[in-house]
Structure 1
Amino acid sequence: MSATYRRRRLTVGILAALILAVIVVSLVVIVQALRQPSEEPVAAPTETAEPTAPMPSGDDASGKCPTEAIAVSAETDAESYEPGSTATLELVVTNTHDAACIISVGTAEQTFSVRRDGETVWSSDYCADPEADGDAAEAEVVFAAGSEKRSALTWNMERVDSDCNRMAEGFEGGKYELVTELGDAKSEPVAFEIVVPEPTEEESSEEEPAADDGEG
C-alpha cells in the first residue's frame, strides 16, 4: 500500500509541475506579445481646423448685416458754394459688425436730401425713376468687418419740385444741411452754405435809379 500511495503522489506532483510549466510559458508568450509593436497601421492624429471668422447668427444667418450694424453718414466736397455751381454729395456706408456681411446699397435704397431750417428743399427722390431696374438699383455688396463704401451724387443746385419740375427761383443764400439715407438708416445732418456774392460797384450803379435833374 505504501508503494502504491507513493506512486500516486509522484504522479500528482508531476502533473502539477507540468500544469505550472504550461502556465509560466503562456504568461511569457503573452508578455512578449504585448511588448512587440503591432503590425497594424496606427491612424495619424486628426488635425484641428483653424477657427473661422465669426458669422452672423440667428436672423442674420443669410449673410445680411444686422440693421444696427449699418452706419450711414453724409459728406460734401466743400463747406460753401456759389449759386449755379455744382456740389458733390456723398453717402458713406460703414459695416460696424465684427464679421463680413451683405448690405443692400443699390440706388433704389439711397436718398440725398437738402434741408433748410428743418424743411426739405431738394431731394434725389424728386427726379428718381420709381420703375428703374438693373444692377445699380438693386446692388448688394459684401462689406468686410469695419469697412466703408461711398456713393457720390453730383448736384447741380437747380431747384425742382417734388414732381421734378424745374422752378423759376433758385436757392437763396444761407445755411443748408445734407442728410443721406440708405433704406431705414439715416445720417446726421451735415451743414454747408450757399453764398450769394455781393454785387459789384458796376452792378450797384446799374440798379440805382437815374437822378432827377429837377427840370419840369
Structure 2
Amino acid sequence: MQAVVDAEAYAEGELPQFSVTLKNTSDSPCIIDIGTASQVYTVMSGSDTIWVSTHCQVEPKSQVVELVAGKDVSAPAIEWSRERSNTSTCDDEQRPAAVAGGAYYNLTVKIGGITSDPVYFTLS
C-alpha cells in the first residue's frame, strides 16, 4: 500500500489531493473495502498530528473491490483544506490553518489495520 500526494510542494492556496494505491502481491485475488469508510488519512508534522480524515467525516462510503493478483488499484483522491482538525472543531466554520511558509508534512494512509509508509510534502 502506498500513500499518494499529487505534488511534492504546494504553493499558497493550492489544496493537496491525497489518494492511496494498493497492490495485491499474492497469487490469488482478494476482496477489500477501499472506500472512505475504511480509509484513515493522517497528516503529521514531526510528532504533531495536523489532520485526520475521519475527525469530521460525513457519510463515509464503502467501496468494495476485487484486487486481482499482481495488479494495482487506486482509491479516488480526497482534497485536504490545509486546516488542522480534531473532533471538537467539526462544527467550526474556520478551523486553524496548517503552518505554511515551507513547512514539511507527511501523509500516511491506513486501511484494514495496515498503514502505508509516509510520503512527504511541503506547504508554501
TM-score by length of 1: 0.51
Asked whether 1:146 is paired with 2:73, we answer no
Contact 2:45 2:106 in 1 (8 A): yes
Give the partner amino acid of 2:21. V
- What's 2:86 paired with? 161
Contact 1:86 1:156 in 2 (8 A): yes
User: Once the 2 structures are TM-superposed, how far is the Cα of residue 156 of structure 1 from its aligned partner?
Assistant: 2.2
Distance 1:177 1:93, change over 3 A: same
User: Once the 2 structures are TM-superposed, how far is the Cα of residue 106 of structure 1 from its aligned partner?
Assistant: 2.4
User: Once the 2 structures are TM-superposed, how far is the Cα of residue 161 of structure 1 from its aligned partner?
Assistant: 2.9
Q: Equivalent residue of 1:107, what SS?
A: coil
Contact 2:52 2:86 in 1 (8 A): no
Q: Equivalent residue of 1:170, what SS?
A: coil
Asked whether 1:128 is paired with 2:52, we answer no
Say what the alpha-carbon RMSD is for the aligned residues.
1.7
Q: Which runs of 5+ in 2 are unaligned?
A: none
- What's 1:87 paired with? 16
Contact 2:108 2:116 in 1 (8 A): yes
Mapped to 2, the partners of 1:159 and 1:83 lie a distance apart of: 16
Give the partner amino acid of 1:82. A
- Per residue, is there more strand in 1 or in 2? 2
Overall identity of the aligned pairs, in %: 31
TM-score by length of 2: 0.84
Mapped to 2, the partners of 1:109 and 1:80 lie a distance apart of: 27
Contact 1:100 1:142 in 2 (8 A): yes
Q: Which runs of 5+ in 1 are unaligned?
A: 1-71, 196-216
Mapped to 2, the partners of 1:93 and 1:177 lie a distance apart of: 18
Q: Equivalent residue of 2:37, what SS?
A: helix
Mapped to 1, the partners of 2:97 and 2:112 lie a distance apart of: 29
Question: Structure with the greater relative contact order (CA < 8 A, sep ≥ 6): 1 or 2?
Answer: 2
Give the alignment of 1:1-216 within 5 angstroms.
72-129=1-58, 132=59, 137-151=61-75, 152-163=77-88, 164=90, 165=92, 166-167=94-95, 169-173=96-100, 174-195=103-124
Report the number of matched residues. 118
